[in-house]
Amino acid sequence: MKITVIGAGHVGATAAYRIAEKQLAKHVVLLDILEGIPQGKALDMFEAGPVCLFDTKIRGTNDYRDTADSDIVVITAGLARKPGMSREDLLMKNAGIVRDVTDQVMRHSNNPIIIMVSNPLDIMTHVGHVRSKLPSSRVIGMAGVLDTARFRTFIADELDVSVQDVNAFVLGGHGDSMVPVVKYTNVAGIPITELMSAETIASLVDRTRKGGAEIVNYLKEGSAYYAPAASAVEMIDAIVNDRKRILPCSALLDGQYGIDKVYIGVPVKLGKNGIESILEIDLDKKELEGLRKSASIVKENCDNLASLLS
């Protein structure tokens, strides 16, 4: 198993290290455009092997030839929003980066599974799919696992129970339009509606929706990376070990939920072939409307990228 991580920044480096620690691959390649950064970080991680007891070979590089024949490629490359830059400017910049990165990746690997992490997530996953020409089952966006992890953390903290017993689903787009599905949220099978007031649930839903911004406000520069990296690695673990996990991921819908040809967060079965099926769960009217609204925002943005991607 060879796993390449593109972008040796906060999320990419943390993900690469976690992949090695969990011994999910024999080879990990960390690539960035910045010279020296991926090499230095990768060597530092590699030298942790004897202490942390992993034999994974981690290499840093600026050369896509070193990514040849990767089984899984995680894309975290991108720019953060700078003062004076509009959301649209950022979208165009990151779409250009993800387009070029995907083209380079595909020059050296035939049939990888791409896990997209760069934001805006659902749109970047679309870019990766269009440019790679891979089947949609092999181009998957990481968002729902992170959003769900945040929701589960807040629920467990509120009830003072183990996170292990908290099951939840957050669907829809990664951002303001995410759709936490309260109906399928439970603690050891007990619906949270029996454990918390409607007001408390609403406040946790709201905190989940603003989870990324809460961290950005603390950090001032940069955004969250421990939980995002851990979430991407949970998806990798499901694929590498063919676990058939049911996880919320950004997947290309083909009529499910009345949505066609749009990447959006839904429950999928993840195994060695990537997305093995998309689950269509019963949503109430408001949730379904939320999901469709999310999808229409993603679609509009993707349509605006048509010339950049052709």
Judged by CB under 6 A, does residue 123 bind ligand APR?
A: no
Q: Give yes or no for a contact between 290 and 161, defined as CB atoms under 8 angstroms apart.
A: no
From residue 56 to residue 95, what is the string marking binding to ligand APR with x (rule CB under 6 A)?
--------------------xxx-x---------------
Judged by CB under 6 A, does residue 101 bind ligand APR?
A: yes
Task: Please list, in sequence order, all residues whose beta carbon lies within 8 angstroms of the beta carbon of residue 282, skipping any fewer than 6 positions away.
Answer: none
Please, what is the minimum distance in Å from the beta carbon of residue 72 to ligand APR?
16
Number of CB atoms found within 10 A of residue 292's CB: 18
Scanning the structure block, which residue is given the tokens 């760069």?
118
Strands 72-75 and 2-6: parallel
Q: According to CB under 6 A, which one of 203, 223, 277, 304 is a site residue for ligand APR?
A: 223
Helices marked H in 164-284 — which ranges?
Answer: 198-209, 211-219, 226-240
Helix (H, G, I), strand (E, B) or coil at 17: helix
Stretch touching ligand APR by CB under 6 A, among 96-104, 148-156, 172-180, 241-249: 96-104
Q: Give yes or no for a contact between 128 and 102, defined as CB atoms under 8 angstroms apart.
A: yes
Judged by CB under 6 A, does residue 249 bind ligand APR?
A: no
Judged by CB under 6 A, does residue 8 bind ligand APR?
A: yes
Judged by CB under 6 A, does residue 125 bind ligand APR?
A: no
Q: According to CB under 6 A, which one of 64, 154, 169, 225 is a site residue for ligand APR?
A: 225
Is 126 an active-site residue? no
Q: Which of 248, 295, 243 is nearest to 268 (CA)?
A: 248
Judged by CB under 6 A, does residue 34 bind ligand APR?
A: yes
Q: Which residues are catalytic?
A: 174
Question: Which residues are near ligand APR by CB under 6 A?
Answer: 6-12, 32-34, 76-78, 80, 97, 100-101, 117-119, 222-223, 225, 228
